[in-house]
Structure formats: structure tokens, C-alpha cells
Chains A and B, each alone.
Chain A
């Protein structure tokens, strides 16, 4: 195996309590802390570990999004990616950009860069789609190992352990392949200051979907984004006896 392509997405930081815009067109993103999608950190970490084990020669980080997407690419470079590609998409075009479009962009880049493996996070914590890896594999006609918690590599083949509803399952898939990282695949490293400095010198190539020949016409129309129904906090009870009484009253005990 020689080259690994990793997709990284800039999303609102996982710890931020999001706010829906009053006009119901989306959520407030201006002035809100963003960072790399947590699953993508795991994807980058796995690729860098493969390089450290000499299973990969080069790690390329890719992000589709507005100019600020370069911040997450710098983070990926500081974690150990060799170079990066920024596919610039912004404004209304970015608002309706779906895994549908991103998967075509990633598939084209995987071919152009002669990647043997594409590693993505299992889902982005903003749109919660959980589609891009599966669709990228579909476009490329490569096998897909989703929700990976363990990846072992041997010549031309990967043995992966997947997190499924009832437990775990093991598959063998042929490379080239697409993988999606689940939470328990690894513990991503922190970028150290010297590595952050070094990352500033690593190249980020800029391109656009148009340059790649990918259409970004919207496939969905956003009708509205609303606040979820608010739950009212209830009563605090003094002791277990009161709780038992309350459960009985509600017919649970």
C-alpha cells in the first residue's frame, strides 16, 4: 500500500450548544467555535499510524468547504499528514453540498492521486448523515469497511473489525478500499507545537469542484430548520422512597 487519502470536515465544535437562526434557514455558524469533526481526527490518526508502521508511504488530507476549511487541513498536517488538498466550496453552494457531491469529489481525487485507501470518519457531527464513505466506495466500485474499530493490513487485503448493532464483526476486504472510522478505532494524538510549526510549511493545493469536473447542483431544498421541542425539567425528589412512590404512581412499578 502506498497512498492514503483522508477526508476531514470543519464542523461546529462538539461541545458548543448550537442555536437555530430565527429565520429558520439553518443554525448560527458566525463567530461560533469550529474544529475538525471528531471522527475525522480518528481517521487521520489511523492513516498516520499506518505511515509510522510503514504500511503507507504518503497521507493526503482533503477538505471540501469555505476558506476556513484550511484550518482543519493545517491540523491534519500537524497530526502527520504529508500534504493537503482544499476543494473550495462556499456560500449557498456549500449550504446544499451533500455527501452525494463530496463522495464524487473524493472519488475523483482518489483516482487522480492514485490512492490505495480512503479513510473517512463514520459521520459528521453537524449533518449526522453517515453516508460519505459508503457513497465514495460506491462511486469507485471499491469495497467499503464502515464503522471500523480495528484495521489490520496485509498485502492487497485488509482485515477489519466493525462495530455493528449486536456487537462486532470481522470482514476481509480487498484494496483499494474505503474505510470509515468509528470512535473506538484509536485515540487521536494532539498536535505538538513543533509539529504545528512544521505543518505551516507543508503544501496545501487548492482546487474547486469545477476544476475536478464535479457538478454541485443542489439535490435537496432546505424547507426549514427548527428548534426541537423543549423538555421541561421535572421535580427533584428527596429520597429513594419518593422515587419508588412516583414510579408506582406512573404505573412503572
Chain B
């Protein structure tokens, strides 16, 4: 008994001197958001023990899934009505409580609307400079990210004692969802309910299609579609591939499709196997969101459109003729 305690003591003091990473999980009280698996991969690349924090009003599904993820040592669970709507004002004090108990060297989350919302607030409370949307890890303190809409690659070294980082999901393969045996523990308890903000409601776009950021194939439309009704052409084409449908900013601004379909610098960043850009000119801001796709196909009637400079396969044609023809022949 004594010897095993002593061994644990030695082991834990060794780990304390090493790196340890907290991953703030993203979920919707029903299922884990897959980007958490990409973030866990980034955490593993840093090295050291990986702990995942699950906060929400219902944490069962996400924490059960996370305990099985390969490489996860510990899952901290904080189930509390205070976390309704995952507001940063309620999640931040929880992360700080976990940090003060476990002294992590790195705190990570996926670079989603959730991660981008919460982590900079955490960083400000820890008095450190956060690092947004990394695409690679050179060492425990040196990271790579894009600036200027993906037109320059910045390698930076952080001099802060704790590294607070969001991770671009498409640049890290997801961790295996099975094979792990993480210990599930209670997160530090406290009064996390914030009087500052209150979640009211959400209005999510319903779709049977795959989620945009994880889709293997994406069919995307721009201003060239001319109307929201014409997007039906793209849905029909997407059905042939089991693809997700995306859009350029122009198509969203014109009201053809909802904003959550926007791909680009300020929308979603995607990197599918196949990206089919239809009626999209290829502005810098759009390319920022899709130019890491494996194969890019462009269908545009303007042979001078910048999209053809990045497309592997181009078709100079009227989309209203070419897309139905393509759909018919696939």
C-alpha cells in the first residue's frame, strides 16, 4: 500500500514538472462536437498529459465519449444549470478554477464560435496573450498560424507562462474515438452562475447534410447563383456526393442562404477532399476559407475569375447549364 502510494507520488511530481494540457470540450448537451477530437490531437502533439473539461447542463454523452478517446488521461465534468448557453461569463470562472487546481501549461479549444468566444476571456483573466487558430505546433512554445486571410504564415514563440490557444480543426487529424480509458472526475465546484449575461434562445439551421467543417465534399455557391431558389441546383448536385453546401459572402449578403454557410476568412475554414465552387469569383477573403481543400473544382463563366488560379479543375461555362448537366451525368 505504502509503496504504491509512494510510486504515485513520484509519478505525479514528475508529471507536474512536465507539460499538461487542458482541452475545453465543445458539445451541445447531446453530442460532442467533432472539432474537440482535432483539438485533442493538437494537445497530444504538445506532449504531456491531456485533460478534457466538459461543462454544460447535460454532460453525460460528451464525457462518456471523451473517456474513450485515445490519449485522454482525465475528463473533468461540470454539470450545472449555470452553463446554459455556454456563456463565456459562466465558463471562464470554471476554467480558471480548474487551472488554479491543476496548473496546466496549455489550455486549448477548437477555433469555433465557441472557442473564439471563450478562450480570449480566459487568457485575459490569466494575464496572458492568447494565440488564435494555430495550424501547426513546432514545440511547446512555438506555434504556426495564418495572418492576412491566409496570405502569410506566422511562426511565433509565446513567452507567457500558460499558453491559451485555439486550434484550426482542419489542420489536425481527429484523435481516435476509441481505445482510451480516461478517468472521469468531478470538475472543481463553485458558483459559476453569472448575473452578467443570460442565454435566451437559438435558431439553428436544420439540415440533413453533413456538417460543413467536417464534410468530405463541399459544393459551394456564390453571387452567380442569382437567387436563393437557384441554390436548389447545388443541393441536387451535392446529393450526388453526399456533400455539404457552402456559400460565399456575396451569396449570404444577398440573402440566398443563411450566414452559417459562409466559407472564408470570417466564416468557416474548410479543407474537404473535394471543393466545387460554383459561380464564385474567388476573392481573397473566400480563398482564405477553402484553399487547403485537396481538389478544387471551379465552374464559372468568367475565364478571368481568380478562382481558376487555385482550381485544379476548371470549367468555363454557364452554371445554369453546366450544373444540371453534371448532376445528370454523375
Seen from chain A, the residues whose Cβ lies within 8 Å of a Cβ on chain B are 12, 14-15, 17-18, 20, 27, 39, 98-100, 103, 122-123, 125-132, 134-139, 142-147, 149, 159, 162-174, 177, 182-184, 218-228, 231, 233-237, 239-244, 246-247, 250, 252-253
Contacts and interface: CB of A to CB of B under 8 A. Distances in A.
B121 A144 contact: yes
Interface string B168-208: 00000000000000000000000000111111111111000
B92 A239 contact: no
Given A144-B121, A252-B295, A239 B149 contact: no
A135 B273 CA distance: 36
A58 to B, nearest CB: 24
Interface of B: 85, 87-89, 92, 112-114, 116-125, 128-133, 142, 145-160, 194-205, 213, 217, 240-241, 249, 252-253, 258-260, 265-266, 268, 273-274, 284-285, 291, 295-297, 303, 308-317, 322, 325-326, 329-330
B312 A126 contact: no
Given A99-B129, A219-B159, A234-B314, A169 B199 contact: yes
Contacts of B201: 169-170
Given A164-B260, A219-B159, A239-B317, A128 B311 contact: no
Contacts of A162: 113
Contact of A223 (B133, B156, B198, B204): B156
A104 to B, nearest CB: 9
Contacts of B329: 240-241, 244
A233 B311 contact: yes
A174 B197 CA distance: 6
Tell me what chain B mostly uses at the interface: helix, strand, loop, or mixed: mixed
Nearest to B124: A138
Contacts of A234: 311-314
B315 A172 contact: no
Contacts of B199: 169-171
Contacts of A135: 120-121, 123-124, 130
Given A241-B329, A243-B315, A122 B266 contact: yes
Nearest to A243: B315
B122 to A, nearest CB: 8
A131 B147 CA distance: 14
Contacts of B253: 183-184
Contacts of B154: 222, 224-225
Leading 8 A-B pairs by shortest Cβ distance:
A138-B124, A134-B120, A219-B129, A100-B129, A143-B196, A234-B312, A169-B202, A135-B124
Contacts of A137: 88, 121, 124
B265 A227 contact: no
B128 A219 contact: yes
Contact of B113 (A125, A163, A172): A163
Nearest to A233: B309
25 contacts: A14-B284, A98-B129, A99-B130, A100-B128, A103-B124, A125-B148, A128-B149, A128-B265, A134-B88, A135-B123, A138-B125, A147-B113, A167-B258, A169-B203, A170-B202, A171-B197, A183-B259, A220-B157, A227-B153, A233-B314, A234-B311, A234-B313, A240-B315, A247-B313, A252-B241
B277 to A, nearest CB: 13
B304 to A, nearest CB: 12
A92 to B, nearest CB: 15
Given A139-B124, A219-B158, A227-B152, 7 more contacts: A125-B265, A126-B147, A128-B145, A138-B120, A142-B196, A171-B197, A221-B156
A131 B120 contact: yes
A218 B159 CA distance: 8
A103 B125 CA distance: 12
Contacts of A127: 147
Contacts of B311: 233-234
Contacts of A219: 128-129, 158-160
A236 B199 CA distance: 50
Contact of B197 (A98, A131, A143, A241): A143
Contacts of A134: 88, 116-121, 124
A109 to B, nearest CB: 16
Contacts of A27: 147-148, 152
A100 B130 CA distance: 8
B204 A236 contact: no
A253 B132 CA distance: 37
Nearest to A170: B200
Contacts of B200: 159, 169-172
B321 to A, nearest CB: 8
A227 B129 CA distance: 24
Given A125-B265, A128-B148, A169 B120 contact: no
